[in-house]
A and B are shown apart, each in its own frame.
Chain A
Amino acid sequence: MGFEQFEIQLIASVVAAACAIPGVFLVLRSMAMMSDAISHAILLGIVLAFFVIPDISSPLLIIGAALSGVLTVSLVELLNKTRLVKEDASIGLVFPVLFSIGVILIARYAWNVHLDVHAVLLGELAFAPFDRLIIFGNDIGPKSLYVMGTILIINLFFISLFYKEIKIATFDAGLAAALGFSPGLIHYGLMSLVSVTAVGAFDAVGSILVVALMIAPPAAAYLLTDNLTKMILISVVLGVISSISGFWLAIFLDANIAGAMATMAGVLFVLVFLFAPDRGIIAIARRRSHQRWEFAGKMLAIHLLNHEGTQDEERESQIQHLEENLRWKESFARRVVHYSANNGFLLVNDDRLVLTTRGREYAKESIVDN
């Protein structure tokens, strides 16, 4: 069992890396839904190709499936062009139709083949090590490892060869077109990569994990870096971590492996979403609260400065009067005073607030800034 466990984790890691690469561009193009659409619609392609070549292991099935992925993309574009429906709606309209035709065809004509809907959604990763690639009588490893390894290499090859073109077409399609890099061609190229990856991966891990691995790691990586190359690398790493930790979660819970991996991809995303150093919501909340205190401190300093040396200074600089003058609740006023005193902007003398030199300067600067 030990070696099979290793093989399953290896296959899943390769799938994760292969999915993360095109996934980055789906996320950057706000096309996450497209991975869902493609990974479902390919079922129809597989079924149709199967009618032509009734051999479940034929590589032509992959081509049929990839073509139906590209067909999905073109149908979505066609619907978009009518401007009668929004992009996400067109995606939602197209793929359920294609997917359900695939399901109906399987149910009616191909029920006796190894194509069942449950396997399509969740895959049978546990069985992947049993389907071996035999060359000249030698067992050289699980077949899906080779399929996904090839797809990973294809993805790496295209993304590094056309890195600059994909980058400009994603960031500024108008300039890309003006400079002669057809954004349409690049779009279809990318969608073909997504289709081929989804096709290769779904036999092993099912379409739910394909979607999870294409979207969750890049969405998390997006929150962690400002650099495109790093975003791709981090996505790959997060995808691999999701796969391996998901595998052990599945063993621990005795659950479906692909389901547990998808869960871990989601969990990792949530962790990043919460704790990312700059863009996580905790960091954002902390920044907001800091800004709130800073702003209140400025208001207080300016207020005190305005009344310095006037006859109502006595009254205006009392903590009790902040409630009336600045409309602050007393507890809030006390905390602002505390914050300002800690920063050396003012001194508290028997409930009277006195600006320090530093506080006076701070108030003056704040007025100029605004």
Chain B
Amino acid sequence: MHLDKVGSLNKGDLDMSENAIEVEDLTVAYQEKPVLWDIDLTVPEGVLMAIVGPNGAGKTTLIKAILNLVKTAAGQIKIYGKTSSDQKRLVGYVPQRGSVDWDFPTSVKDVVMMGRYGALGWIRRPGKEEQKMALSALDKVGMLQYAERQISQLSGGQQQRVFLARALVQDAQVYLMDEPFQGVDATTERAIVSLLQELRKSGKTVVVVHHDLQTVPEYFDWTALLNVRLIASGPVQEVFTEENLRLTYGGRVSFLKHNGENGVSNIGQRTG
């Protein structure tokens, strides 16, 4: 099983260049108020990683910092050994669904084609090739019949699938996704999870901001617990423990229950 392979790796065994993402001493502050404090995080290639932490923990900020979208106060970030501005083509991004205006006058297919804009570069317009890629990505997320729809007519789950399709056409090595399960129904959630697992199997690295603690062990093989500082990161079996969750969520983890050997399970409550 893939989990075993990843689980047996630790930082020392790896050639540094094999890590998909390396974050060193990262600090981000908005007006002197640190929202990320001295983060050291290594994401090995080929993992499916959940970033968990309470609201305002800095999860979105961490993703944006990796993408070089926010000013950092200190530290450095490497993607396959180079800065992210050198590796733009390697990184696919799924922002929070609420970060865009869904009343914007455009169609589903057009939004998905935006994922190709990076490869096209300045001025060159998308053409037949890009359309084909967009349609096949829409097919993968089960949205092909909505290709010509206006985006204002989509439900939350459909919006999320469109964003996912847009990331797929980026054809990246590393995917960063901010709450892709937010506001989706159970069917869509399962469809998205199997897609993410497929991506991982094909050797991609997928980093997902995730809110439902209960499903972390089921969906992911790697995790990072974040609350301004990085509490822990590593294989889910090793670091997704009650102790670490308590450190991450403070007193609010009274709903955690013991389940002998596995550490944590039966977390019957969504956070945030």
Q: Is the CB of B105 within 8 A of A231?
A: yes
Measured between alpha carbons, how far is A162 from B69 in the docked complex, in Å? 22
In the complex, what residue of chain B is closest to A179 when comparing beta carbons? Answer: B118
Q: Is the CB of B125 within 8 A of A163?
A: yes
Measured between alpha carbons, how far is A83 from B114 in the docked complex, in Å? 31
Question: Is A172 an interface residue, CB under 8 A from the partner?
Answer: yes
Question: Is B95 an interface residue, CB under 8 A from the partner?
Answer: yes
Which residues of B sit under 8 angstroms from A167, Cβ to Cβ? 106, 114
Q: Is the CB of B88 within 8 A of A180?
A: yes
Question: Which listed residue (B95, B106, B107, B150) contacts A175, Cβ 8 A?
Answer: B95
Question: Is B8 an interface residue, CB under 8 A from the partner?
Answer: no
Chain B nearest CB, measured from A57 CB (Å): 35
B81-134 contacts to A (CB < 8 Å): 85, 88, 91, 93, 95, 99-101, 104-107, 111, 114, 117-118, 120, 122-123, 125-126
Measured between alpha carbons, how far is A175 from B31 in the docked complex, in Å? 24
Which residues of A sit under 8 angstroms from B262, Cβ to Cβ? none
Q: Is the CB of B105 within 8 A of A172?
A: no
Question: Which listed residue (B64, B93, B99, B106) contacts A227, Cβ 8 A?
Answer: B106
Q: Is the CB of A28 within 8 A of B104?
A: yes
Q: Is the CB of A171 within 8 A of B114?
A: yes
Chain A residues touching B, range: 20 to 34
Question: Which listed residue (A28, A174, A179, A226) contacts B117, Cβ 8 A?
Answer: A179
Question: Is B67 an interface residue, CB under 8 A from the partner?
Answer: yes
Question: Which listed residue (A163, A171, A226) contacts B100, Cβ 8 A?
Answer: A171
Question: Which listed residue (A163, A168, A178, A227) contacts B105, Cβ 8 A?
Answer: A227
Question: Is B10 an interface residue, CB under 8 A from the partner?
Answer: no
Measured between alpha carbons, how far is A174 from B101 in the docked complex, in Å? 12
Known contacts A167-B106, A178-B69, A222-B105, A172 near B99 by CB under 8 Å: yes
Measured between alpha carbons, how far is A176 from B101 in the docked complex, in Å? 14
Question: Is B152 an interface residue, CB under 8 A from the partner?
Answer: yes
Measured between alpha carbons, how far is A167 from B122 in the docked complex, in Å? 12
Measured between alpha carbons, how far is A171 from B31 in the docked complex, in Å? 27
Measured between alpha carbons, how far is A175 from B104 in the docked complex, in Å? 15
A171-188 contacts to B (CB < 8 Å): 171-172, 174-181
Measured between alpha carbons, how far is A225 from B152 in the docked complex, in Å? 12
Which residues of A sit under 8 angstroms from B67, Cβ to Cβ? 174, 177-178
In the complex, what residue of chain A is closest to B67 when comparing beta carbons? Answer: A178
Chain B nearest CB, measured from A353 CB (Å): 35
Question: Is A228 an interface residue, CB under 8 A from the partner?
Answer: yes
Question: Which listed residue (A28, A172, A174, A227) contacts B107, Cβ 8 A?
Answer: A227
- For the complex of A and B, the 7 pairs showing the least CB-CB separation, nearest first, are A179-B118, A226-B150, A178-B93, A178-B67, A172-B100, A174-B95, A171-B104
14 further contact pairs, Cβ within 8 A, besides A181-B117, A227-B105, A227-B107: A162-B122, A164-B117, A165-B117, A165-B123, A171-B106, A171-B114, A176-B117, A178-B88, A178-B91, A179-B88, A226-B107, A228-B104, A228-B106, A231-B105
- Contacts A/B (CB < 8 Å), 24 sampled: A161-B123, A164-B123, A164-B125, A165-B122, A165-B123, A168-B114, A171-B104, A171-B114, A172-B99, A172-B114, A174-B69, A174-B93, A175-B93, A176-B117, A177-B69, A178-B69, A178-B88, A178-B91, A179-B117, A180-B88, A181-B117, A222-B105, A227-B106, A231-B105
